[in-house]
Amino acid sequence: MGSGGDRRSAGGGCSADVVCEKHLFKSKVSESLVQLAWSHPRCAFPLDRNELCIWNTETPLRLSGHHYSISAVSFGHKTNPLLVCSASRERVIVWNLDECTQKVQEGLTPRGTVVGTLLGMVLHVRFSLDDQQVAVCAGNRIYILSAKTEAILTELHGHLAPVTAAEFCTWEKTMLISVSEDRTFKARKFFMFSVRRLLLLLLLFLQLWIFSLISDHNYRCVTHINLKKEQEKFCNKVWKSGKEIGSTVIIFPILFLLGHDGALNSVGWSHDKKWLVSASEDRTLRVWSVCNNEPALILGKEKFHETVRFAQFYFIDAFILLCCGAEFHLLSFHSSHLFVCLFVYLYAFVPLDQFNFNTVNCTDIVLTAGRNRALEVFDLNAGCSTAVIPEVHTRSVHQICQNKGSSFSTQQPEAYNLFMTTAAGDGIKLWDLRTLKCERRFEGHHSCCYPCGIAVSPCGRFIASGSDDKCAYIYEMHSSSFSHKLGGHTESVINVAFSPSSPQVSLFFPFCN
């Protein structure tokens, strides 16, 4: 790093229309075009790619915390405290400059707060007007993050190409304007509320009231449920009858599970339908009994170095599989009524750049997929990777769907070797686990704005897919074109599911403002 003095015109004077170079900073490596930040009298910019430099008239402040090149920087709006946000493809960090300066004066290394991880290539970041949230433009999505802790408050879709800039409206704090390389701009309102506080209010007297939000209905109460009585009824059915309940929908909204302080990433049922495992942006994993509002077990931040993106019960509830950053873990699970014991890292973690995985509940094979667009096969008996398929799709795989069958139907054993992958804008591919080759490609549905889900029917003959065009599509396994198009929906269909015992499919939609 170096600095130079003022540079003026050859005539000795400095006219008003001539830009003067006041200081010069030289990086050891060439820097790409990135978003820089200025807040009088400070400016912020990346130095040597992964170091953040805060310059003012005093000694520059150099902050380290990123492992990859910083691509976007932004100052907060308030001066007390003055915040700055820096982003790279592996993490988003918020720095309190007063605290950082004090640490440097004490001879300590300043640390920022990691508010987001592994969001992808970030082109732009912007604080909200009250500095409580940060809008992060990564790919064709906008993530609204908490500026105080690692939590994705909401996620905005709609652009078909990378979002290059976003700005909060000064007259409406819940409105965001964004521009994209798809040559469009969007102005959208978003909602952020504390589900935890809302549910605590509803559960104060163990009563749930449901109101109509349509203004013409005068927000009247549609119905209300005595949660305590309904919960007792459900528990009696599960624990006393000893029979498995066919439908899991009965639990909601009978039982609310409170405890996570961040957005939920995944929720999974145990094989016996008596336990739930949940993973959240608060970097905790929780195991719940369906008859108790409190978690039976909590694995906290000290166990996971990054957010757990996905977790599920495995091998008839003997284990829990989870995906954490670039690793997946296998945990031993034992339950006896309300007693739960987990032994972490039964298998050593495997370094991968993975974010999604899936597995049949009674096999030793785990399929993983991540942002490197590769699919990798792991043998848990051997504790190692057995095969890698590079470039599975042109974009990152957002779902792996296996033919798991159903207790209500039978299939040929060979059918369970088939699995599907899907990626936004790149259709659905059918793979054979024995050959690791793509056997067929299914196209016709639209999946660009949302990562639309897919499902295989219990009989193994059909594939269902969501779509951006407000329809769902049904494909026959032996045909590349769709056989049925299910319309009449008011919004994009983001997920689908088949009934295990009858020829029905359920559709799910995004929350729309």
pLDDT one-digit tens code per residue, 390-411: 999 988 888 899 887 776 777 8
Q: Is the pLDDT of residue 122 over 90?
A: yes
Contact in structure between 498 and 455 (CB atoms under 8 Å): yes
Q: Which residue has the higher pLDDT, 228 or 471?
A: 471
Q: Which residue has the higher pLDDT, 290 or 185?
A: 185
Question: What is the reported pLDDT for 142?
Answer: 93
Q: Is the pLDDT of residue 421 over 90?
A: yes
Alpha-carbon gap, residue 415 to 403, rounded angstroms? 7
Q: Provide the token pair at 194.
A: 């504390």
Q: Is the pLDDT of residue 456 over 80?
A: yes
Query: Average pLDDT, whole number, for the chain?
Result: 77
Question: What is the reported pLDDT for 2?
Answer: 43
If 0-12 CB within 10 Å is exposed, 13-18 middle and 19+ buried, where does residue 362 land? exposed
Cis bond leading into 351, ω under 30°?
A: no
Mean pLDDT of 229-250: 58
Mean pLDDT of 456-485: 88
Question: What is the reported pLDDT for 223?
Answer: 62
Q: Is the pLDDT of residue 501 over 80?
A: no
Phi, psi of 102 (to 5 degrees): -65, -40
Contact in structure between 100 and 81 (CB atoms under 8 Å): no
Q: Is the pLDDT of residue 298 over 70?
A: yes
The full 3-state SS of 232-301, as one line of letters, equals HHHHHHHHHCCCCCCCCHHHCCCCCCCCCCCCEEEEEECCCCCEEEEEECCCCEEEEECCCCCEEEEECC
Over residues 479-500, the pLDDT tens digits come to 878 888 888 778 888 888 887 7
Q: Is the pLDDT of residue 202 over 50?
A: no
Mean pLDDT of 54-63: 82
227 — pLDDT class (breaks 50, 70, 90): low
